[in-house]
């Protein structure tokens, strides 16, 4: 089965070249399709569904789960632009006409698209019979922005949230934030992201407890890894500043992630490394394919991504598949994965001294590092798989299906 799709171009609507081939239904997949009314679903996103990020991974997994249940998905792609240009989508007649005429039973919208849809959804609720369900990864207003800009984001985003029928939340924290914004309990379901896309169909860690213990007790510096696109929200600059306060040779850092998402920020963190004399302790790898990435992570002791905010934080769970304790930011939903002192630590954003104390403590106490790594393996093993989590989401979406006449 192929996901068909339309994308908005500056000159109007275009059929995306060949659609987005997500997956084919195999014999085993088809056997899981139960008797229910198939739905035609319109999924609205920005850019390509193949974009490398946790949010788009979540959307892809949801599409696969819908397909396995026999539903068809049409992807409608809005172009990546600035926030003001996204707002202008609301007054484009060609967009409104296309959405109004779409032959779908259910709208799925990535909440990231809220500026493009805040007014369009009012028209859809009035003139289109399909219910509108929003997939909420985290709220833009919860990120760090200048106060005046954040007020604009809050106003637009809150208006969008009030204009949809229901929600798929990626964490309990995200659900609570939306409830707070709405001032009431919203119709929706929590469906956690997973990390078994790394390990196959089951949540089986890559390493055994004995291997994690042996790695932790090796001589030499603490080997930390940062995984994620180089953007300010992920807190890489705080991590580099933390290293600058530590004894030389105590901690090394490997940085894996795309640098072209925010080139100015990537230049800034590279300059920080040079200014603090850390060029021998810090290595930039850019994007790595899965094989090279797994070989690198297997050698690491610790995952450090001190984000300013995470709606969930799939990366922490991915690190735990390799027995890596996680140092995460304490704002957002990371606490739903990371238990301080057990399988990682939570640190306040923009406080490198606190982060540095945790790093040096784990470097000096390898028995504790070993115990935390083994606990990380167990935390990964207990977490739901994508099939389990997305299956719950799809079953809930099916309650919105049109009733047969």
3-state secondary structure 194-235: CCCCCCCCCCCCCCCHHHHHHHHCCCCCEEEEEECCCCHHHC
241 three-class SS: helix
Q: For residues 26-30, give the mean pLDDT.
A: 35
pLDDT of residue 32: 39
How many C-beta atoms surround the C-beta of residue 242 within 10 A?
Answer: 27
- pLDDT exceeds 80 at position 7: no
User: Cα–Cα distance between 24 and 91 in angstroms, integer?
Assistant: 37
Q: Which residue has the tokens 């339309």?
A: 6
Residue with the bigger pLDDT between 19 and 240: it is 240
> How far apart, in Å, are the Cα atoms of 12 and each of 80, 93, 99, 120, 336?
15, 10, 13, 17, 43
- pLDDT tens column, 339-375: 999 999 999 999 999 999 999 999 999 999 999 999 9
Q: Residue 342 in contact with residue 301, Cβ under 8 Å?
A: no
* ∠ CA 378-383-389, rounded to 5°: 170
Kind plus residue range of the DSSP H or E element containing 132: strand 132-136
- CATH code for the structural domain at 209-382: 3.40.50.2000
| Residue 23, φ and ψ in degrees, nearest 5 | -165, 160
- HSE-up (13 A, CA, CB side) for residue 76: 24
Q: Which residue has the tokens 């997305």?
A: 390
The CATH number for 4-194+386-398, chosen from 3.90.1150.10, 3.40.50.2000, 1.10.10.10, 3.40.225.10, is 3.40.50.2000
Residue with the bigger pLDDT between 23 and 114: it is 114
- Token readout for 182 is 């709405």
* ∠ CA 263-265-270, rounded to 5°: 95
Beta bridge partners of 74: 4, 42
pLDDT of residue 2: 41
- Identical topology for domains 4-194+386-398 and 209-382: yes
- pLDDT exceeds 60 at position 1: no
User: Cα–Cα distance between 115 and 86 in angstroms, integer?
Assistant: 6
Estimate the crossing angle of helix 93-101 against helix 120-127, to 10 degrees: 30
Q: Which residue has the tokens 């790695």?
A: 215
384 three-class SS: coil
Beta bridge partners of 43: 75, 108
pLDDT range class, residue 205, cuts 50, 70, 90:
confident
- Sequence-distant (6+) residues with CB within 8 A of 332 are 138, 142, 173, 307, 309, 310, 311, 312, 313
How many C-beta atoms surround the C-beta of residue 388 within 10 A?
Answer: 14
DSSP state of 400: T
How do beta strands 222-227 and 166-169 pair? unpaired
* ∠ CA 284-285-291, rounded to 5°: 155
User: Cα–Cα distance between 135 and 116 in angstroms, integer?
Assistant: 15
Question: What whole-number percentage of the chain has pLDDT above 70?
Answer: 90
The arrangement of strands across the sheet holding 166-169 comes to: 12-15, 4-9, 72-78, 40-46, 106-110, 132-136, 166-169, 188-190
User: Cα–Cα distance between 197 and 170 in angstroms, integer?
Assistant: 16
pLDDT of residue 30: 37
User: Cα–Cα distance between 208 and 210 in angstroms, integer?
Assistant: 5
Domain ranges for the chain, please list them.
Answer: 4-194+386-398, 209-382
How many C-beta atoms surround the C-beta of residue 205 within 10 A?
Answer: 22
User: pTM (2 decimals)?
Assistant: 0.85
Task: Look at 16-20, 200-204, 376-380 and tell me which has the smallest mean pLDDT.
Answer: 16-20
24 CB burial (10 A radius; 0-12, 13-18, 19+) = exposed
Q: Residue 158 in contact with residue 181, Cβ under 8 Å?
A: yes
Beta bridge partners of 340: 344
Q: For residues 88-106, give the mean pLDDT.
A: 93
How do beta strands 12-15 and 4-9 pair? antiparallel
- pLDDT tens column, 57-82: 999 999 999 999 999 999 999 998 89
């Amino acid at each position: 089965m192929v996901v068909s799709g339309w994308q908005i171009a500056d000159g109007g609507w275009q059929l995306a070249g060949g659609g987005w081939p997500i997956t084919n239904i195999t014999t085993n997949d088809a056997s899981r399709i139960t008797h229910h009314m198939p739905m035609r679903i319109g999924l609205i996103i920005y850019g390509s569904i193949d974009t490398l990020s946790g949010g788009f991974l979540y959307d892809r997994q949801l599409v696969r789960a819908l397909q396995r249940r026999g539903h068809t998905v049409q992807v409608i792609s809005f172009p990546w632009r600035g926030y003001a240009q996204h707002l202008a989508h609301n007054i484009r007649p060609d967009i409104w006409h296309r959405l109004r005429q779409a032959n779908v039973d259910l709208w799925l919208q990535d909440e990231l698209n809220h500026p493009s849809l805040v007014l369009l959804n009012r028209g859809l609720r009035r003139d289109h019979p399909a219910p509108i369900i929003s997939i909420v990864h985290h709220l833009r207003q919860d990120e760090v922005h200048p106060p005046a800009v954040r007020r604009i984001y809050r106003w637009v985003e809150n208006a969008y949230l009030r204009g949809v029928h229901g929600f798929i939340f990626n964490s309990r924290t995200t659900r609570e934030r939306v409830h707070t914004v709405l001032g009431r309990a919203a119709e929706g379901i929590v469906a956690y992201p997973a990390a078994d896309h790394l390990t196959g169909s089951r949540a089986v860690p890559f390493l055994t407890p004995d291997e994690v213990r042996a790695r932790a007790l090796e001589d030499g510096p603490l080997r930390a890894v940062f995984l994620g696109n180089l953007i300010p929200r992920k807190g890489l600059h705080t991590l580099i500043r933390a290293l600058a306060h530590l004894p030389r040779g105590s901690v090394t850092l490997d940085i894996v992630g795309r640098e072209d998402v925010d080139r100015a920020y990537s230049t800034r963190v590279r300059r920080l490394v040079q200014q603090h004399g850390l060029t021998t302790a810090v290595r930039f790898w850019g994007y790595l394919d899965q094989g090279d990435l797994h070989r690198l992570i297997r050698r690491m002791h610790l995952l450090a991504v001190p984000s300013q905010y995470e709606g969930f934080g799939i990366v922490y769970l991915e690190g735990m598949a390799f027995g890596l304790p996680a140092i995460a930011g304490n704002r957002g939903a990371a606490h739903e994965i990371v238990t301080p002192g057990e399988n990682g630590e939570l640190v306040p954003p923009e406080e490198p001294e606190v982060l540095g104390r945790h790093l040096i403590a784990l470097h000096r106490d390898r028995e504790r590092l070993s115990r935390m790594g083994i606990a990380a393996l167990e935390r990964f093993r207990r977490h739901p798989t994508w099939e389990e989590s997305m299956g719950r989401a799809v079953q809930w979406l099916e309650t919105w299906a049109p009733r047969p006449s």
